[in-house]
Amino acid sequence: MPSRSDITYFGAGPALLPTDVLEEAAKALLNYHDTGLGIAEHSHRSQLAADVINQAKADLASCLDIPDDYEILFMHGGGTGQFSATAYNLVGAWVTRKQQEISGGIQGDPTDPKATQQLKEAVDNNLKIDYLITGGWSQKAAAEGERLFGSEHVNIAADSRETNGGKFGTIPDESTWKLSKDAALVYFCSNETVDGVEFPAFPKSLLPGPDGKGPIVVADMSSNILTQKISVENFSAIFFGAQKNLGPAGITVVVIKRSFLPPITSQPSARLMRQLGLPIPPIIFQYETIAKNNSLYNTLSIFDVYIIGQVLAKLLRTYPDKVEGQQAMSDKKARLVYDAIDAFPEIYKVIPSKAVRSRVNICFRVTKGDDIEAAERAFLEEGIAQGLTGLKGHRSLGGIRASNYNSVPLEGAEKLAKFIRAFATS
């Protein structure tokens, strides 16, 4: 029976957590700060819980250099829940803006039939949600937008399958994107875990103009958050599940510009949204409600937030330059693995195009011999024998997937690279 130290886990999520963080968490589960109660037993309404939340928020803001005009929310529902939540909330914000335009900048009377009719015409003719489809997760996000709002309101601004033989593995050139003029949001998945595709940089066509205005950009960064420095101010909202680089499954983090969190009284009423033929979010997916209650509108898992806080504190201790230091390490580990794969082009084939290879989810096929499936089974079995686990590719794609999350140590990447080379020459 292998011990924890014998295993290097490359699973796509839930991912490996730092051993020292888990050891401290085990103590906290039994007796947190000598209170006689474990952290999972304390009330989420207690000052202790508020302190855990506030410290985690402060450390995340420090790690990512989040500007002061952004709010951090801890929510449930995973990244999949945010496919709905971002659309609900930002379509609501779009309706509010149109309502104010119609009423000359003053909050209109929702009972005025003429104003409501004008607003409904604006919704019917102009409301669009834009999606850049580059893999399985962005495909699911677009499908959810269409399910909630109808195909007439969803604009697929780009789909990599259209220029890649019906398969994912590339990002279409920005010159081909068909962005809407005034979209409620433009969604993209920064890193596709299934297909191993990562945006190499923030898209130039989505950057704010000289006046500071630009598209309302929403990014799913569930798998590559905290692996690279980002300019948060380029985004209207970012969301990410905790279970890749931040903590256990169960908490989803939303970083959103506060201008999209007006008082509840200035949001479109449920009645108005129904008159417009638009859905309204469940209350636990309503951003301004979560923000107003410091993520405690409903019972939040404080234990999960505690682990998030411990992971962030460890990152800050390890890298004085914060996420830039972590990025250098992530890049170094990825280079080790890709260099080993690329050294044997007759044995291995990386699935996505080289220009968009993910640093975080390294997806490849083993083409050694005539039977690819048999070769990949042998690769996985020999890897497990050496303590390299979690390497099986996603069920929809097959092959091998090495997830290079922050908790994978440099020694683990070195061990995998060595095994890749040894397997090729055996």
pLDDT of 203-221, one tens digit each? 999 999 888 789 999 999 9
Average pLDDT over residues 7-15: 95
What is the C-alpha to C-alpha distance for residues 304 and 249, in angstroms, rounded to an integer?
A: 8
Are the C-beta atoms of residues 43 and 49 closer than 8 Å to each other? yes
109 confidence band (pLDDT: 50, 70, 90): low
Distance of CA 120 to CAs 107, 152, 275, 333, Å? 16, 14, 8, 52
Distance of CA 66 to CAs 3, 25, 57, 71, Å? 39, 27, 10, 9
User: Based on the domain organization, do 55 and 88 belong to the same domain?
Assistant: yes
* Residue from 420, 84, 103, 121 nearest 252 by CA: 84
Distance of CA 59 to CAs 78, 121, 249, Å? 21, 45, 19
Residue 186, domain member (yes or no): yes
- Which position has the higher pLDDT, 1 or 286? 286
Q: 305, 331, 356: which is the final residue of a domain?
A: 305
Q: What is the pLDDT of residue 106?
A: 52
Q: 240, 272, 305: which is the final residue of a domain?
A: 305
Average pLDDT over residues 143-151: 98
* Residue from 236, 239, 256 nearest 190 by CA: 239
pLDDT at 338 over 90: yes
What is the C-alpha to C-alpha distance for residues 88 and 98, in angstroms, rounded to an integer?
A: 16
User: Based on the domain organization, do 343 and 204 belong to the same domain?
Assistant: no
User: Based on the domain organization, do 262 and 358 belong to the same domain?
Assistant: no
Residue 165 class from Cβ within 10 Å (0-12 exposed, 13-18 middle, 19+ buried)?
exposed
What is the C-alpha to C-alpha distance for residues 172 and 129, in angstroms, rounded to an integer?
A: 19
Residue 43, domain member (yes or no): no
Instruction: State how beta strands 237-241 and 252-257 pair.
Output: antiparallel
User: Based on the domain organization, do 175 and 275 belong to the same domain?
Assistant: yes
Q: 272, 305, 338: which is the final residue of a domain?
A: 305
User: Based on the domain organization, do 216 and 166 belong to the same domain?
Assistant: yes
pTM of structure: 0.96
Residue 104, domain member (yes or no): yes
Q: What is the pLDDT of residue 111?
A: 61
* Residue from 343, 222, 345, 264 nearest 89 by CA: 264
User: Based on the domain organization, do 179 and 276 belong to the same domain?
Assistant: yes
What is the C-alpha to C-alpha distance for residues 171 and 357, in angstroms, rounded to an integer?
A: 10
Q: Which tokens go with 338? A: 């890709």
Are the C-beta atoms of residues 380 and 391 closer than 8 Å to each other? yes
Residue 24, domain member (yes or no): no
Average pLDDT over residues 198-203: 98
Q: What is the pLDDT of residue 265?
A: 60
User: Based on the domain organization, do 339 and 296 belong to the same domain?
Assistant: no
User: Based on the domain organization, do 71 and 203 belong to the same domain?
Assistant: yes
Residue 289, domain member (yes or no): yes
* Residue from 230, 227, 201 nearest 360 by CA: 227
Residue 23, domain member (yes or no): no
| Structural domain count of the chain | 2
> What pLDDT, in 10s, does the model give residues 372-406?
999 999 999 999 999 999 999 999 899 999 999 99
pLDDT at 417 over 70: yes
Are the C-beta atoms of residues 155 and 133 closer than 8 Å to each other? no
CATH number (domain holding residue 386): 3.90.1150.10
Q: Is the dihedral of CA 329, 333, 334, 339 positive or negative?
A: positive
Average pLDDT over residues 295-315: 97
The pair phi, psi for residue 156, each rounded to 5°, is: -85, 100
User: Based on the domain organization, do 10 and 97 belong to the same domain?
Assistant: no
The C-alpha angle with vertex 242 and arms to 240 and 247, in degrees rounded to 5, equals 160
**Number of CB atoms found within 10 A of residue 278's CB:** 21
107 confidence band (pLDDT: 50, 70, 90): low
Residue 37, domain member (yes or no): no
Q: What angle separates helix 113-126 from helix 78-102, to the nearest 10 degrees?
A: 130
Q: Which tokens go with 401? A: 């997937």
Helix (H) or strand (E) holding 188: strand 185-189
User: Based on the domain organization, do 252 and 349 belong to the same domain?
Assistant: no
| Three-state secondary-structure class, residue 330 | helix
> 290: which residues sit within 8 A by CB, 6+ positions away?
73, 75, 254, 284, 297
Residue 172, domain member (yes or no): yes
pLDDT at 268 over 90: no
Place of tokens 């107003």: 292
Question: Which residues on adjacent β-strands are paired with residue 154?
Answer: 129
What is the C-alpha to C-alpha distance for residues 265 and 35, in angstroms, rounded to an integer?
A: 40
Q: Which domain holds residue 384?
A: 4-17+322-425
24 confidence band (pLDDT: 50, 70, 90): very high
User: Based on the domain organization, do 111 and 194 belong to the same domain?
Assistant: yes
User: Based on the domain organization, do 142 and 96 belong to the same domain?
Assistant: yes
Q: What is the CA radius of gyration of the chain?
A: 23
